[in-house]
Amino acid sequence: MLRKIIFLLALSFCVTCSGHGPNVFFTNDNKKLYKNSLCMPDEKMPQMIIIPFFENASQIMPNCNIYPKHKTALALMIFYHKWVEYFGDRDFAVRGMLQKVMIRWGNSKKVSNKGFSLNGELFTSRTIIGKVEGQNIIWVWRGYDYKISESSLTHELVHLALKAKFGTYDADHEGHKYRGWTPAHSAMIISARRMMRAFNI
Is the pLDDT score of 2 beyond 60? Answer: no
- Answer positive or negative: Cα dihedral of 86, 181, 174, 111: positive
CA separation for the pair 193, 201 (Å, rounded): 9
Task: For 122-168, write each residue's pLDDT tens digit.
Answer: 888 999 999 999 989 999 999 999 999 999 999 999 999 999 999 99
Neighbours of 82 (CB within 10 A): 22
Are the beta carbons of 43 and 54 closer than 8 angstroms? Answer: no
Class of residue 28 by CB neighbours under 10 A (exposed 0-12, middle 13-18, buried 19+) = exposed
Beta bridge partners of 124: 114
